[in-house]
Structure 1
């Protein structure tokens, strides 16, 4: 067996440990040992994550993958062990796991700060907090979960961000005259009112259900608040030979100026065949006054990483004439 094959095979060691724990778990006679629950808990929560870390620390696999391995081991423990044998698992879940989660978030925010400093040192004015957050998360998490994870952090950042965005040269706003901020504000107000009424009605039937739905509704309100507040913080930006079409943290697209075939100034209804995609979140509820037509398809990224390929994007600009002049110059 070659050294490369040996290294690949060594990555299976944690799974062999898990298989051994599973074998012990299905043997009910072994579980009668009063110390077996402690032994299995140590195997799952210490040995498996530790062995995984030792195997990947000199590889290109991110060290942060130790966290999901630990969580999977914890879940397996709850499935495997009887309720009366889950004492140590509950200790870990209550007193260790929260600090692990805080550590991950803290590490990501530290990475964001470092990236922001590096971008400022290189005079990069096109990247903002959300861009830096995506870069930081992409260094430690698999691509499919990068945007959803970053979005959850960004929601709380923008929802409770009180620092006013500074005007940036080469940027174009879209929130001041479009009415979208008022629209999102109205949605937040409606959600809060409906939540209060629904909570009162459901509490008579099931207090637990009432509080669960209230929590979900409040989080939804915070999301829309973050979407609204991120609009002013992430304007559309013109940099070198490209245009960064931002729509808060809701959507974005990177467009080469040479790929812009024409800029149509119109507020007419969009074609029903879907040939023109709106940059906003709420479709027809949000207004537009410009349609960008492209020679080649452009990829637009929406919430949670959904990608849409299109040859035309409809959006609203507070000063469309200035935008057209900047593109044409």
Structure 2
């Protein structure tokens, strides 16, 4: 990954602001996605998100499209598209149909730790025992949260939903590692746009399978919000930000996603967490904080 010296040395706040706005949009997407999935179903919702984002990308960046030269990167790009948006949104769409937005958002706290494990396996980055202890502690919190979940109106099948959300985070971790390889050769905006167009094709059968597109106006407003500001906007901001700051610093911002998701789930969606679930959430946060106490070492 390449970093702009003017951003990292002079402490420019623009990359940090971009990352902060990106994670806020991501955090808000769980509650919005929950509403839209209830109206249209998981597959049609994800397809519509991809189409809306692709249309906006083509309007704003059609000149970039005609200049794309894939070269030898097509295999890595296909793998990137497979991880994100294809498998990530496939897992998350069905996850939010089965569990609450608060629980799904809380599980997203393990994403930075998954990236750390992936970096150890793929990039041969080493970490301290404290970092690995934080990883195991956070994973234990996710397992506890899942085991303590009981079916409710907001989470009819929390065990399945939480497991699917864990799988989604695994694919998101793969996407972030691949971004580190490709961001030096393609602009963040182009990568984001190509991901959206690939997702439009992948989820096309799901869009055509929609039983009905009749829904309240609120669902359509949230669908446009998800497709433009969240899918294209948030991923574009994050791709731009992560290309200008170290990956470890960028991963800290992702830890804000579950906080935003849980708060909006409780306040906006009237979702609740029992005492055991709140303790499990605290365990996840403790693990994430512990992992951040010691910086990674590189061989």
Whose helix fraction is larger, Structure 1's or Structure 2's?
A: 2
Higher radius of gyration, 1 or 2: 1
TM range (shorter): under 0.3
Q: Larger relative CO (CA 8 A, sep 6+): 1 or 2?
A: 2
Larger fraction in strand: 1
TM-score for the superposition, normalised by structure 2 = 0.26
- Normalising by structure 1, report the TM-score: 0.25
